[in-house]
Structure 1
């Protein structure tokens, strides 16, 4: 029987991290969420980010990685992508709480007079707002269990209000709230032992501020041995059976299986008084096996301007992984910085000659654009399978206009505001925008595909919905000329914005203004990425 209990209070799993950042809290949160959802428990996951930015939309990718866009158009932390991919849910703007959002709301209330007569303070006003936002996320999604990942590392000054808020929650929720602490235990190869002291100190810091973890997940290079488990238990006041090992594996998609084999779901459900049920994980096991057992390697070149930090393009990388599993192949991803191609034709040819397929990645700004345009020209002329995403789509139009239409100065007004031929220009409604945060064309948008086009065949539908994040579009004044020159406009929005272009006489030359990678899932990969990989293998769509 499902656990659904419309009259019950929501239950909470609070996940904290220790020793260092990027320890894997997001993967742990997503893994626990997946394991519980497979037991018919309604799940939502909240990511708490202690930075003062209202959202991730205005951050440099090198500072924070990918900006993940939700169906409702929120620009969020990349961990929300983990949640959607692992659990199979669509999160919303309520699932990413930042310090900026919290303080913005508190200050607005103070200005409206809602705190009249009071001195507005971190405790209780800010902590109450945090608790309210966490509970709101659960209410909006009608969740039985709300998993809350607290960003940062225990001991960071920025995280203290959030840790204090969840400490207060425990007083009210009692047995409806469980604390899970994820911390690193370094492995010393010279001596062949795990060092647990840093983890012990992170738990001590948690306990100092009033939080006693109920479960500990030890991140380490190798599996946790019993001696180390016992030592951790002794110094953290957590029983050995409630200490779990999350060791290095070939793919993050293995983590749920690693934790489940140690019985983590059963422990959490018992602590939260959730009736025990079984989960069928056969499809997940098969998916993980497919990732390891691919029988053919395909070289995919990814050209972008932030490739030194792969997390900038996390959803695209994961979409390729999902698609490759469905085709039983192993994609070899070759990351190329577009600036390196601008004045180096030999390097361009060397890279392209080894490519089975090329993706020109999203991005903003002038840096590296000419390198991307050179790459697009090369793949178009040499008939190499090509996929352009967002900015890659726009630059494909620029390249076509320059080379085929002979509009040598063609460009985007984002790159050159005074270009003679602005084939890419700002959306009309963007020209009135004053604030830059959260004001792009965002979220799920309707796309109408041209019947009989490659895009139509890929999706098997005339109407699709994909997520977007952009301010610029193909200039309507050049649409007729582009089409007469042979560029097929195969997808448009309801109000006529160009969404897909393609060249039907090529092995695969498709580009889209959308971001289909945001909706890709392990068991339901994006059709566009599957088709691109098929073409890169030399197969028909």
Structure 2
């Protein structure tokens, strides 16, 4: 079978679900149904205590799922960084989005920052991911998309999405990340970041909401991510020198 958008032959695709799987996390319980809609794609759980930077090469895509704080935040952030540098399709939803922001702030913007859920650490390491002024746990909220971005292509001018978070990036703290090349492509009506992407970096996409909870599946964000992973799998299959690791 050939992808109509790229002309690449479709081959088996492997996607890592990075996070600590739990029946108490509603988004996790929705993933098997989502996976069933992509029978040619293997979605494999990789715990935060087991994920490594090598998984950015071993898999065709990394989906960093909700459920933070992760048991091993440092390993998750390291894997996110490896995926960004390798151009591996990367999707972060809710907690995954928050840790993509942390990695970008540290690895690209050169900031000494932490998640407010983490230990305080030295005085010069400030919290970048902080409690939201109003918790979004269990809420559906409006997202305004910036024209000309991938987010707008996928979601239109405005979307209403389901959340289950109480931490995020404040608009006042986004400046250094934007200066370093990140695009805030979706915002709340109050202007706080809700969607981020990196133009020209393959598929690097983070959302504060949980597309796993959408009534209609696959959600456009998930479908686009899976499409990017399929394309990477096809390109690597066509190149005998492309590295590919063993199954996790």
Q: Which category of TM-score, normalised to the shorter sequence, fits these structures? A: 0.7 to 0.9
- Give deviations 1:232-257, integer Å, cap 9, x for gaps: xxxxxxxxxxxxxxxxxxxxxxxxxx
Instruction: Summarize the alignment of residues 379-398 of structure 1 with structure 2, pairs less than 5 Å apart.
Output: 379-398=83-102
Q: Say whether residues 1:489 and 2:214 are aligned partners.
A: no
CA apart distance, 1:481 = 1.0
The equivalent residue for 2:60 is 356
CA apart distance, 1:443 = 2.1
- Give deviations 1:436-495, integer Å, cap 9, x for gaps: xxxx54221100011010111112x11001100111110333211110100110000111
Residues 333 and 389 of structure 1, relative CA distance in 2, 3 Å threshold: same
CA apart distance, 1:310 = 9.7
The equivalent residue for 1:537 is 230
SS at match of 2:83: helix
- Structure 2 gaps, min length 5: 1-9, 233-248
SS at match of 2:31: helix
Aligned equivalents of 2:133, 2:25: Cα separation in 1: 33
The equivalent residue for 1:514 is 209
- Give deviations 1:118-173, integer Å, cap 9, x for gaps: xxxxxxxxxxxxxxxxxxxxxxxxxxxxxxxxxxxxxxxxxxxxxxxxxxxxxxxx
Contact 1:413–1:424 at 8 Å: present in 2 too? yes
Instruction: Summarize the alignment of residues 436-515 of structure 1 with structure 2, pairs less than 5 Å apart.
Output: 440-459=136-155, 461-515=156-210
Q: How many residues align?
A: 221
The equivalent residue for 1:367 is 71
Contact 2:87–2:202 at 8 Å: present in 1 too? yes
The equivalent residue for 1:410 is 113
RMSD of the alignment, in Å? 2.3
Instruction: Summarize the alignment of residues 48-447 of structure 1 with structure 2, pairs less than 5 Å apart.
Output: 296-306=11-21, 313-322=28-37, 324=38, 329-341=39-51, 348-349=53-54, 351-365=55-69, 367-407=71-111, 409-417=112-120, 420-429=125-134, 440-447=136-143
- Structure 1 gaps, min length 5: 1-294, 342-346, 431-439
Contact 1:301–1:359 at 8 Å: present in 2 too? yes
Contact 1:393–1:511 at 8 Å: present in 2 too? yes
Aligned equivalents of 2:62, 2:148: Cα separation in 1: 24
Contact 1:366–1:414 at 8 Å: present in 2 too? no
CA apart distance, 1:319 = 2.5
Aligned equivalents of 2:150, 2:139: Cα separation in 1: 24
Contact 1:448–1:493 at 8 Å: present in 2 too? yes
CA apart distance, 1:401 = 0.7
- Give deviations 1:392-417, integer Å, cap 9, x for gaps: 0000010111111111x311111134
Aligned equivalents of 1:311, 1:481: Cα separation in 2: 33
Residues 494 and 308 of structure 1, relative CA distance in 2, 3 Å threshold: closer
Answer with 1 or 2: which has the greater Rg: 1
Aligned equivalents of 1:355, 1:366: Cα separation in 2: 20
The equivalent residue for 1:260 is none
TM-score by length of 1: 0.39
- Give deviations 1:31-65, integer Å, cap 9, x for gaps: xxxxxxxxxxxxxxxxxxxxxxxxxxxxxxxxxxx
The equivalent residue for 1:181 is none
The equivalent residue for 2:239 is none
- Give deviations 1:337-362, integer Å, cap 9, x for gaps: 11123xxxxx541x332211110111
SS at match of 2:231: coil
Instruction: Summarize the alignment of residues 40-51 of structure 1 with structure 2, pairs less than 5 Å apart.
Output: none
Residues 312 and 443 of structure 1, relative CA distance in 2, 3 Å threshold: closer
TM-score by length of 2: 0.81
Aligned equivalents of 2:32, 2:142: Cα separation in 1: 24
Residues 370 and 453 of structure 1, relative CA distance in 2, 3 Å threshold: same
Q: Relative contact order (alpha carbons < 8 A, sep ≥ 6): 1 or 2 greater? A: 2
SS at match of 1:494: coil
User: Which has the larger helix fraction?
Assistant: 1
